[in-house]
Amino acid sequence: MSGKRVLKVISNLVTTVLFIVLLLTLFLVVSTKASGGEPNFFGYQLKTVLSGSMEPTIQTGSIIPIKEVDDPTSFQTGDVITYQTEEDILVTHRITEVNEGGNQYITKGDANDAADMEPVNAMNIVGAYTGISIPYIGYVMDFANSSEGAALLLVIPGVFLIIYAGVTIWRAFRQLDQAKKEVNPNTE
């Protein structure tokens, strides 16, 4: 493979990667803003883990998909659920005890020494943890939810794409000039 061909392949690869990053960032930011929080994909909500209460099962800064449930009274001891507290805080903890025929649950974070103070009512359950955790992406998602983060995550890939396009156009003009000089060497 010649040097020009290798550069062309690398050039196309860089363009593709920048474009994909820009589209993914745009999709994440728009879906996050449209949902008023974490994005929702095919019935799964992506939640950011901001505390270490479930470590080592779920690391701080991870994102986790949770599945919305039809019957919030169907959980059993050992299931991990995400629920909303009276203070409108989302918490993901493990069920340690089922009370009142499944209408109330006692929960505890895996890293916590004691169970949570308040029992969880079934109607406050947002969804069930799917067992998947993607470390560190939660920090990016949390940053993307801020106004500065959304702007920055859209602007940076866009600027790189514009700069790259400018360099590509400049190279094309240079090659055209070079070709003209080879065809008409007396034009200088």
Q: Report residue 56: phi and psi, to 5°.
A: -90, 0
Residue 32 has pLDDT above 80, yes or no: no
Q: What's the DSSP call for residue 88?
A: S
68 lies in some domain: yes
Prior bond of 72 cis (ω within 30°): no
Shared domain for 73 and 85, answered yes or no, is: yes
Bigger pLDDT: 127 or 25? 127
Residue with tokens 């025929």: 101
Cβ-based burial of 94 (10 A; exposed 0-12, middle 13-18, buried ≥19): buried
Q: What is the pLDDT of residues 107-149, one digit of tens each?
A: 999 999 999 999 999 999 999 999 999 888 888 777 777 778 7
188 in a structural domain: no
Q: How many domains does the chain have?
A: 2
Examine the domain organization and report whether 141 and 154 are in the same domain: no
Strand-pair partners of 80: 94
What is the rounded radius of gyration, in angstroms, for the C-alpha atoms of the chain? 26
Q: Which residues are catalytic?
A: 51
Task: State whether 84 and 59 are in the same domain.
Answer: yes
Is residue 50 located within the same domain as residue 130?
yes
Q: Do 125 and 58 share a structural domain?
A: yes
Q: What is the pLDDT of residues 66-87, one digit of tens each?
A: 998 888 998 999 999 999 998 9
Residue 187, pLDDT > 70, answer no
Instruction: Tell me whether residue 169 is in a domain.
Output: yes
DSSP class of residue 44 equals E
**Residues 92, 29 within the same domain:** no
| pLDDT tier for residue 14 given thresholds of 50, 70 and 90 | confident
Give, in degrees to the nearest 5, the angle at Cα 16 between 14 and 18: 65
Please give the average per-residue pLDDT across 49-56, as a whole number.
92
Question: What are the CA-CA distances from residue 135 to residues 29, 55, 167 (Å)?
Answer: 19, 12, 36
In whole numbers, what is the pLDDT of the chain averaged over residues? Answer: 84
CATH number at residue 69: 2.10.109.10
> Is the model's pLDDT at 1 over the cut of 90?
no
Domain that holds residue 13: 1-36+147-183
Alpha-carbon torsion (166, 168, 171, 176), positive or negative: negative
Q: Is the pLDDT of residue 188 over 60?
A: no
**Domain identity same for 46 and 88:** yes
Considering only residues 51 and 36, tell me which one the structure prediction assigns the higher pLDDT. 51
Q: What is the Cα–Cα distance from 79 to 86, expressed in whole angstroms?
A: 21
Whether residues 58 and 139 share a domain: the answer is yes
Pair (105, 176) in one structural domain: no
The reply to whether omega before 56 is within 30° of 0 (cis) is yes
pLDDT band at 37 (very low <50, low <70, confident <90, very high): low
41 has a pLDDT exceeding 70? no
Q: What is the mean pLDDT of residues 149-166?
A: 78
Q: What DSSP element (H or E) covers 182? A: helix 147-183
Q: What is the DSSP letter of 132?
A: -
Question: What's residue 95's pLDDT?
Answer: 95
Do 58 and 12 have their domain in common? no
Looking at the structure, tell me whether residues 32 and 69 fall in a common domain. Answer: no
